[in-house]
Homo-oligomer: A and B are copies of this chain.
Amino acid sequence: MSAGRITIRDVATAAGVSRQTVSNALIHPERLKGPTLERVQAVIQELGYRPSSAAQSLRSQRTGAVGFELLAYGESNRNEVAYPFTVALGEMAIGHGCHLVTFSSAGAQSLTEGYADMVRAQVVDAFVIADTHPGDPRPDWLHQAGVPYAAFGRVWGRPDITSWADVDGAAGLADVTEHLLAAGYERIGYLGWPRGSSVGDDRRSGWEHTLLAYGRAPGPEAACEQDLRAATTAAYGLLDEVGRGGAIACASDLLAVGVERAARDRGWRPGTDIGITGVDDSGMAGMFDLTTLAQPLTAIADYLLGLVHKRLEGGPAPESGALFRPTLVPRASSRPGH
């Protein structure tokens, strides 16, 4: 009837009941008698009524929104995971009845200023944070401020903080290594990052332990920065060591592209003459037809939103962080037949 948006009053008037009855029809349908419920629901449907989330937020002191900081990396390998993860969060948010508010801290004075602002202005109830790293001030701050949050990536140096989920890189590289063994590649080398990076060391251990478990001496390995030129250079040496018929498992898709380049320079066909695998299932892996590991981003997003949801309900923190196993994406670069 009224010119503006349809409110609960409009529905109540149209259905000949009170505001509260309409509210109950949506939240506590069991409180209404059959005929009344049906009538109210019909009017809601007909008018296309949706409760105003602004009014609900004011009343309940909950916004139903989760904040997520988008980091401006520039580095492609990070974008490749960050974007699909953001999409996954958006998709899973629907199932958790919340929205995703993305923001950027670029230009802020401190790394936590953006977070503090959104909490004080009551824009979000909780946060999901990504790319935690040793010395990251955000977990500490959020913890101290009593703001519920969950992290994609282990929270380093704080074993008491368990609201995180991460990819089980070791398990992933174990799968990759077994896959390469099963495919019949002779020697299986590894191209990783310099020691000391926790993510890198984790992945490397999956390769090493699997070879040992199969009674193989851990084959040749090399390390270089996340850079195409460096990877290509490092790959030349590794190719010599594993030889034709061998394989090289890499810590990332980018490194795998470097190996692919070096192999082609040498006239070796990926898959046939040399097995190559990467990690992340980034766009590059698809383009270059590289076997890789797909991160379980949807499952992680779902888990993290579930965590913050539970914390908002006053539930306890989980006993420990959660690891999710990536899934192998076999492509031509590890198919000896072809």
Using a CB–CB cutoff of 8 Å, the interface residues on chain A facing chain B are: 4-5, 48-55, 57-58, 61, 63, 65, 70-72, 75-77, 79-80, 82-84, 86-87, 90-91, 93-94, 99-104, 106-107, 117-118, 120-123, 227-229, 254, 257, 261, 264-265, 282-284, 286-289
Chain B residues in 8 Å Cβ range of A77:
283
For A93, list chain B residues within 8 Å (CB).
Answer: 103-104
Hey, which chain B residues are within 8 Å of A49, CB to CB?
120
- Distance between Cα atoms of A243 and B120 in the complex (Å): 63
Q: Which of B57, B90, B94 contacts A57 (CB 8 A)?
A: B57
> B103 and A284: CB pair below 8 A?
no
B53 adjacent to A122 (CB under 8 Å): yes
Given contacts A103-B93, A103-B100, A288-B228, contact A283 B76 (CB under 8 A): yes
Instruction: Give A131 to B107 CA distance when docked, in angstroms.
Output: 28
Q: A338 CA to B269 CA in the complex, in Å?
A: 30
Known: A53-B122, A76-B282, A265-B264. A103 touches B99 (CB 8 A): yes
- State the CA gap A214–B284 with chains docked (Å): 37
Q: What are 14 A-B pairs with beta-carbon distances under 8 A? A: A50-B121, A54-B63, A58-B58, A70-B90, A72-B87, A76-B287, A86-B102, A90-B103, A90-B104, A99-B103, A99-B123, A101-B101, A227-B287, A229-B289
- A71 CA to B71 CA in the complex, in Å? 19
Q: How far is the CA of A55 from the CA of B61 in the complex (A)?
A: 10
B90 touches A53 (CB 8 A): no
CB distance from A258 to the nearest CB of B (A): 9
Are A254 and B287 touching (Cβ within 8 A)?
Answer: yes
Complex-state Cα separation, A80 to B264, whole angstroms: 26
Told that A53-B121, A72-B84, A90-B102 touch, could you supply 12 new A-B pairs with CB distance under 8 A? A5-B61, A48-B120, A52-B121, A53-B123, A77-B283, A79-B83, A86-B102, A93-B104, A94-B103, A100-B101, A100-B102, A101-B101
